[in-house]
Chains A and B, each alone.
Chain A
Amino acid sequence: MWTERSIEHEKASRARVGRLRPQAFRLPVLAILAAILPATLPSAVCFAQQTRIGNVTGSLKRGKELYRRYCVGCHGVLGNGQGENAPYLDPRPRDFTAGVFKCRSTDTGHIPTDMDLYETLGRGLHASAMPSWFPLTRQQRIDLIAYVKTFSPRFHEEKPEPVVPVPPEPPASPESLNRGLEIFKKMECAKCHGLSGRGDGPSASTLTDSKDRPIVPYDFTTGERFKCGQTNQDLYRIFMTGLDGTPMPSYLKDLKPDQAWDLVHYLRTLQMNYENSANNGAVKTSPARQPGRSIRNALRAVSGSK
């Protein structure tokens, strides 16, 4: 279906419009189709493996060109994370062939959504060699996602679900922070992240990733951003979905949404730079995704009590 071979033949098949191969359509055609057909139709079987963000569809052909230009040095021609720069990087580049990704909105063990991959690409991975690819156009980033997905058969065989819901954030309060502290203790986050969140817990020095390479836990005290974003919603998602391929597990079955939000509020108190980062607006976020003012007020209310 969406294989290398079919990309090579994209040009040829474009001539045979009668064959309903998805690659045969260019964007304007799709847009017209989308306008004419009921909304449910394009998502039916024949489009199941397409990469779409909003109304933009990724092109494998362009994605491959972009990949060969920008990504191949680290992630390799085969997408296995063994590009020529790979040995010099820590953490190592992602092996796309495994189809295992850290930053997801889906439960642990499941492939990410197109939007998850798109956001990771735009954001980059903090504290790694993976930069933000925001300088590329939206279309180019979507093309890249389309191509990167071809390295793992999982994207043909599985669906990116279930998505872990992130319910609206309740206001932070001193009570919420205190409950969050109790959850921090009960979930034993300190085993790896340490009591003060420095990443210096008793198990920290023995952690390895899924490829058996040493890996360090996140240090909350120096960080303002996380590997998978910087908003409270991102933080909620990180520990509820887990960071697959790393020691960070999912807490979805352990925490109710309210408890998870309490933990988010408490974890923010460990971030010394958090108050500043909330103001500097280095990355564009919609007002809805900005850290709430209430948590900063709550922080002030309990400062010194942690």
Chain B
Amino acid sequence: MKRSRLCVLTIAASILSNPPLHKGGTVSEEAGQTLVPVVRAEATGTLTGLVKLDGPAPKGKPINMAKEPICVKAHPTPPLTEEVVAGANGTLQNAIVYISEGVPNSTFDPPSDPVVIEQKGCQFHPHVVALQSNQKLQVVNSDPTSHNIHPLPSNNREWNRSQPPGLPPLEESFAREEIAIPVKCNIHAWMRCYIAVFKHPYFSVTGATGSFSLKNLPPGNYAIAAWHEKFGTLTQKVTIAAGETKTLDFVFKPRANMSE
């Protein structure tokens, strides 16, 4: 009830703020797009940068998969834990950089492409994914063994599905913003990944180089946050002018930010 009322309000608000763009009762594809600021001419700001760790990164430890011989066989040498994956210059992989404050009030339709998590070698790939609320998540099992996919959200529905080998991908979605949902496979206690859910499209997960890029930013004042599963969250303020490209680095200090 609450949600449908909210929905009506949102629609009403968007009609009021964009009166010439909304023609008639049906929401055409065109009308849907005009509500999203990313296609506005001025929404062309870009923010790029690096996420780094100040000081030596803790090394990953070999994962003991002895409880599942099939998993052991999948790796010539035991894979390393992925809590902290750092490059040579302290650049951090698997961090999520996103707008935490200042996102324009709007509804953002989720992209139609799904985000895919593959279970391979008894690990989740990638280790950290980010998607929009109600965007499709596909979970694929490429192993010759069963896994169970068990997200442990605090702001979304907790579900737990078994996925034996050879079955089609599971499709799910998350309705609400949450950064980030830990995911377990109970059968293989070492398996873990994180799913971050955003109500807007302004997020970026760092790869091997530790770099991020937020594109199509409307001009404005923003709080930009960097999240890392081990080191927590850092936030910085930034102002983006129309069409501006800025750089911003995040440096985690392991001791100050270590929660465990």
List residues of chain A with CB under 8 Å of any chain B CB. Answer: 45, 48, 98, 100, 107-110, 156-158, 186-188, 191-192, 202-203, 206-208, 210, 242, 244-254
**Known pairs A187-B162, A203-B189, A244-B158; A210 contacts B146 (CB<8 A):** no
Interface of chain B residues 160 through 193 with chain A (CB within 8 A): 160-164, 167, 170, 186-189
Given contacts A109-B159, A249-B186, A253-B161, contact A188 B146 (CB under 8 A): yes
30 contacts between A and B (CB under 8 A): A108-B159, A109-B157, A109-B160, A110-B157, A157-B3, A187-B162, A187-B164, A188-B145, A188-B164, A188-B187, A192-B187, A202-B68, A203-B67, A203-B187, A203-B189, A208-B186, A242-B159, A242-B161, A244-B160, A247-B160, A247-B186, A249-B148, A249-B149, A250-B159, A250-B162, A253-B161, A253-B167, A253-B170, A254-B162, A254-B167
Main secondary structure of the interface of A (DSSP, over half): loop
A108 near B146 (CB under 8 angstroms)?
A: no
Known A192-B187, A208-B186, A250-B159; 7 more pairs at CB < 8 Å: A45-B1, A109-B159, A157-B2, A186-B164, A203-B189, A252-B161, A253-B161
Closest to B152 in A: A210
Output the least CB separation between A272 and chain B (Å). 26
Q: Is B150 part of the binding interface, using a Cβ–Cβ cutoff of 8 Å?
A: yes
Smallest CB separation, B159 vs chain A (Å): 3
Please, which residue of chain A has its CB at the minimum distance from the CB of B146? A188
Residues of B within 8 A of A156 (CB): 2
How many residues of chain B get a CB closer than 8 Å to chain A's CBs?
Answer: 25
Question: Closest residue of chain A to B190, judged by CB?
Answer: A206
Cα-based distance from A247 to B67 in the complex (angstroms): 16
* Chain A positions within 8 Å of B67 at CB level: 202-203, 206
Bound Cα distance from A247 to B2, whole angstroms: 33
> Which chain B positions have C-beta within 8 A of A187?
146, 162, 164
**Bound CA–CA A251/B163 (angstroms):** 8
Taking CB atoms and an 8 Å cut-off, the chain B residues in 180-229 that contact chain A are 186-189
Closest 6 pairs (CB-CB, A-B): A109-B159, A247-B186, A206-B189, A249-B148, A249-B162, A109-B157
- Assuming A157-B3, A203-B67, A254-B163, is B150 touching A247 (CB within 8 A)? yes
CB pair A203–B170 under 8 Å, yes or no, is no
Contact status B160-A250, CB under 8 Å: yes
Shortest distance from the beta carbon of A217 to any chain B beta carbon, whole Å: 10
Which B residues are CB-close (under 8 A) to A108? 159-161
Asked whether, in the complex, the Cβ of B161 is within 8 Å of the Cβ of A247, the reply is no
B150 with A251: CB separation less than 8 A: no
A207–B186 alpha-carbon span in the complex (Å): 6
* Chain A positions within 8 Å of B160 at CB level: 108-109, 242, 244, 246-250
Chain B residues with CB under 8 A of A207 = 186, 189
* Complex: A183 Cα to B2 Cα, angstroms: 44
Residue among B2, B3, B152, B159 having the largest count of chain A Cβ atoms under 10 Å: B159
Residues of A within 8 A of B188 (CB): 203
| Chain A: minimal CB distance from B65 (Å) | 11
CA of A203 to CA of B67, assembled, Å: 7
**In the assembled complex, which residues on chain B have CB atoms less than 8 Å from the CB atom of A191?**
146, 187
Collect the chain B residues with CB atoms within 8 Å of residue A247's CB: 148, 150, 160, 186-187
A245 touches B170 (CB 8 A): no
Alpha-carbon separation in the docked complex, A245 to B157 (Å)? 11
Tell me the smallest distance from the CB of A247 to a CB of chain B, in Å.
3
B146, B161, B170, B189 interface centre (most CB from chain A within 10 Å)? B161
B159 close to A244 (CB less than 8 A): yes
- Tell me, rounded to whole Å, the shortest Cβ–Cβ distance linking B30 to chain A: 32
* Among A188, A245, A246, A249, contact of B161 (Cβ-Cβ < 8 Å): A249
- A244 CA to B150 CA, complexed, in Å: 10
Complex: how many Å from CA A69 to CA B45? 60
A20 to B: closest C-beta gap in Å: 15
A100 to B189, CA, bound (A): 21
Closest residue of chain B to A110, judged by CB?
A: B157
Smallest beta-carbon distance A106→chain B, Å: 11
Instruction: Say which residue of A107, A158, A203 sits within 8 Å of B186 (CB atoms).
Output: A203
A158 to B157, CA, bound (A): 10
How far, in whole Å, are A208 and B191 apart by their CA atoms in the complex?
13
Candidate in B2, B187, B189 with the most chain A CB atoms within 10 angstroms: B187
On chain A, the residues within 8 Å of B158 by CB distance are 98, 100, 109, 210, 244-245
Cα A157 to Cα B1 in complex, Å, equals 8
- Closest Cβ of chain A to B186, distance in Å, is 3
